[in-house]
Chain A
Amino acid sequence: MCTHEAEARPHNAMNTPTTTADEQLLDLLQRPDMRDEGFRRLMQCYGESLYWHIRRIVVGHEDAEDCMQETCMKAFCSLATFRGQAEQLRPWLYQIATREALMTLRRHTHFFQSIDDLSPLLLETLHSENAPAEGKAEMLLQQALLTLPTTQRIAFNMRYFDEMTYDDIAQVTGKSIATLKTNYHYATEKIKHYISQHAS
């Protein structure tokens, strides 16, 4: 649901929910004459969280900006073919963004290299773009996250930072809910262990 309009669903006299912000967005997007306006509102709702989702995957600001541009273009070009429900708008956007971020990571790999082997490069980028004025705890958490496999890291980010449901994460990643819950549990344990080892 769109965060800046997140209110409890008002009910009318018949106790049926009125249209939510996502349903209003979907109505706009399905009308060809209002599609541009609908897309602008859609990105106003989810654009910033999309950017930070991408940034957590690729770490570098330039890569994140390129991914964001590609995500916006592909999302706009695919609007006419979107056939899901209103509540599937956010996972759909995250799916496009995640795919672009993973393609960006693959461009940094050599022929036989896995994207999981990019952790040293991403760590170096993290240190170079880190703001020293920010807290050490954020830095420590990001370092811990970069020790995880990429797919586990992505699932953890969506669950922890974006507070998405496992249903939505499953739609984004294509994995089962049981796998995601297991991954999240192991990721949490690894992160806590890393932080406890490295916290001064």
Chain B
Amino acid sequence: MPQRKSNTTSASTPADTPLQIRSMPFAEPEGYVAHLVARHTAQAIESGHAAASAHQHPATPIRRWRWAGVAASLLLMLAAGWTMVNMSNPSRTDHDAQRIASAAQKSPLDAYLESIDDEEASLMEYYEIEEVESFASDVTEP
């Protein structure tokens, strides 16, 4: 590792010589960086004390509003979740009402045939076709 030299440069830098460049190619005024550091140090101390005194205050209005905002956000999220759950799972009474309304628009025979359950439908297979038709006509006659 080459020895540290302040603000020294090499006139030419072939590949086999060690790097000896320590300064930056920026021409800052003398003492400028020291002044900048001192200024930021003072600002940091001042800001740090101001922040510390703000945190020590027990219940500032800003803190109260912050918690109110958090509570409101949680309530909104709960309400949105509850709404989404209800929309994806409609009630059975609504479904039954829709089925009855659609059934009322059909003929009495069709409505009767749709209202029988699966067990009765399977029993129908054992009846002959004439008996089914006579049974259907008995139903449709006023």
Task: State the A residues within 8 Å of B (CB).
Answer: 36, 39-40, 43-44, 47-48, 50-52, 55-56, 61, 65, 68-69, 72-73, 75-77, 126, 129-131, 133-135, 137-142, 160-161, 163, 188, 191-193, 195-196, 199
Contact = CB atoms under 8 A, between A and B. Distances in A.
Interface string B49-61: 0010000000000
A44 B93 CA distance: 79
A36 B45 contact: yes
Nearest to A142: B25
B107 interface: no
Nearest to B17: A192
Interface string B35-50: 0111011011101100
A172 B26 CA distance: 26
Contacts, number: 106
A27 B55 CA distance: 26
Given A126-B25, A130-B26, A137-B10, A192 B15 contact: yes
A68 B36 contact: yes
Q: Is the interface of A mostly helix, strand, loop or mixed?
A: helix
The 5 A-B pairs with the shortest beta carbon distances in the complex, nearest first, are A131-B27, A47-B37, A72-B44, A138-B25, A196-B15
B34 interface: yes
Contacts of A76: 44-45, 47-48
Contact of B26 (A36, A61, A141): A61
25 contacts: A39-B44, A47-B37, A47-B38, A47-B41, A48-B34, A48-B37, A65-B36, A68-B37, A69-B44, A72-B40, A72-B43, A72-B44, A130-B26, A135-B21, A137-B9, A137-B11, A137-B13, A137-B21, A138-B25, A140-B13, A142-B24, A192-B13, A195-B13, A196-B13, A196-B15
Q: Is the interface of B mostly helix, strand, loop or mixed?
A: loop
A141 B44 contact: no
Contacts of A161: 22
A79 to B, nearest CB: 8
A55 B9 CA distance: 19
A138 B40 contact: no
B4 interface: yes
Contacts of B26: 55, 61, 129-131, 134
A80 to B, nearest CB: 9
Given A76-B45, A196-B15, A138 B37 contact: no
B99 to A, nearest CB: 51
B19 interface: yes
Give the most central of A39, A69, A130, A193: most B CB within 10 Å: A69
Nearest to A198: B13
A87 B142 CA distance: 106
